[in-house]
Structure formats: structure tokens, C-alpha cells
Chain A
Amino acid sequence: QVQLQESGPGLVKPSETLSLTCTVSGASISSYYWSWIRQPPGKGLEWIGHIYYSGSTNYNSSLKSRVTISVDTSKNQFSLNLSSVTAADTAVYYCARRLVSPNLDANWLDPWGQGTLVTVST
């Protein structure tokens, strides 16, 4: 079955760049959209953005100026960079596959990775 695994530093200093990678197994990354979502401690889910294997991206407007999502089809991985981080960016970061209905009137996220906690602190 399709599995996703996030990896990257668990601690990032304020003003630096948060970098995470999601490794996909059980499916080719060249067939779907791939998303990043985050969840601050004790709070709800926030979509960060997604990428298609071709490199086409779509970002949350509230984060757009700081976010870059990229894909490496040779490694079946996609990555997240979030620049100029502050304590407000402390969260569990999830990667997930985005599925879309043929007539584009539905999309959903399945499966999700286990998530990785990133803390922004000195």
C-alpha cells in the first residue's frame, strides 16, 4: 500500500528555513498531487500547499511568500521549505497524497504520513 514518511530537523532557529522531505513508497510520485499540511500543538489542521509531479504548485495564500514545495521524481520524494520561521510555525508537519475526482469537483487527502514535530526555538 502507499506509505509516506516525513523526515527533517526537529528543531529550527527563528528566522531560519524549515526543510522537510516526504518519501513515498508503494506508488509512483509521477501519478498524483502531493500535499503538505501542518497542525500546531492542540490546534486544527492547516493546508500549506501541494505539488504535481510536473512541478506545478499551489500554496496557501497566508504562507505563499515563505513556502516552496519541490519534487524529485528520481527519488520518489517531495520537499517543503518554509523560510523566516517564527515560534508560530511550531507544529506537526504532515505530508499526504491528494486525490482528485475526474471532473475536479472533489479532492481528498489519503494516505497521510505519520507526521513530524518541528519546534522553532533558540
Chain B
Amino acid sequence: SNELTQPPSVSVSPGHTATITCSGEKLGDMYGSWYQQKPGQSPVLVIYQDTKRPSGIPERFSASSSGITATLTISATQAMDEADYYCQTWDSSTGVIFGGGTRLTVL
């Protein structure tokens, strides 16, 4: 299968840790990436190659990967982190694959 499965929604209290998972067979042999998309804005890369953080992304964003599951962790979550988060990987036969997205609510 070339699908990536994410929970539709995750809720977190301000200052607490948010965890978003992404599962799919291709994550077993290809690295994953994560994007943050706030309402009305274009997606922004927050994690690439499973665990790397681009310059300018706060240190509270981290990620890990084990087997066919990738996990995005946001520590000390702030109101500004409320957004949709998408995981992504690559399949040599089908191309770029996105997860369905997870809406993170900070309340």
C-alpha cells in the first residue's frame, strides 16, 4: 500500500506536548517529512528526513520514526501551533505521497 494514515484530529492544552502519528508501508524504507499549514496559508516544511528541522523552525518541533510509523512531537505547545499537519514520503512507482492531514487544536 502507498497510503499514509494520520489521525484526523489531535487536541492539546497550551504548554503540553502534542503527538501526531503517521503510518504507512513506504515509511519502512523511505524517510518522511512533515508540513504545517495554518488557515489560508501555504504549507511550511517543519521536519525532513524523519528528524531534521529546517532553519527557522522552533526547537519545540521534533520527530522520530520507527518501523512504518513516523511521529511529530510538539513540546510546550503554543496557540500559534494550531494548524493542519501533513506527513509526506516518496514511492518510486507512484511519486509523492501525503497523509490525509491532522488538525491540531490547542485548547
Interface residues of chain A, those whose CB is within 8 Å of chain B, are 35, 37, 44-47, 49-50, 58-61, 94, 98-99, 101, 105-115
Contacts and interface: CB of A to CB of B under 8 A. Distances in A.
A65 to B, nearest CB: 15
A45 B98 contact: yes
Report which residue of A46, A94, A106, A114 has the largest number of chain B beta carbons within 10 angstroms of its beta carbon. Answer: A106
A108 B30 contact: no
The 9 closest A-B pairs by CB, nearest first: A106-B31, A47-B96, A108-B33, A110-B45, A108-B48, A112-B42, A45-B98, A106-B49, A44-B101
Interface in B57-107: 86, 88, 90, 94-101
Contacts of B43: 45, 94, 109, 112
Interface of B: 29-31, 33, 35, 42-45, 48-50, 54, 86, 88, 90, 94-101
Contacts of B45: 108-111
Contacts of B30: 105-106
Contacts, number: 68
23 contacts: A44-B98, A45-B98, A45-B101, A47-B95, A49-B95, A50-B96, A60-B94, A60-B95, A61-B94, A61-B95, A94-B42, A98-B96, A99-B48, A105-B29, A105-B30, A106-B31, A106-B90, A107-B33, A108-B45, A110-B48, A110-B54, A112-B42, A112-B44
A115 B40 CA distance: 10
A44 B5 CA distance: 12
Nearest to B92: A104
Contacts of A47: 95-98
Query: Binding site of A, secondary structure by majority: helix, strand, loop or mixed?
Result: strand
Contacts of B42: 94, 112-115
A98 B97 CA distance: 13
A109 to B, nearest CB: 7
Contact of A35 (B48, B86, B96, B99): B96
Contact of A44 (B94, B96, B100): B100
B28 to A, nearest CB: 11
A16 B60 CA distance: 46
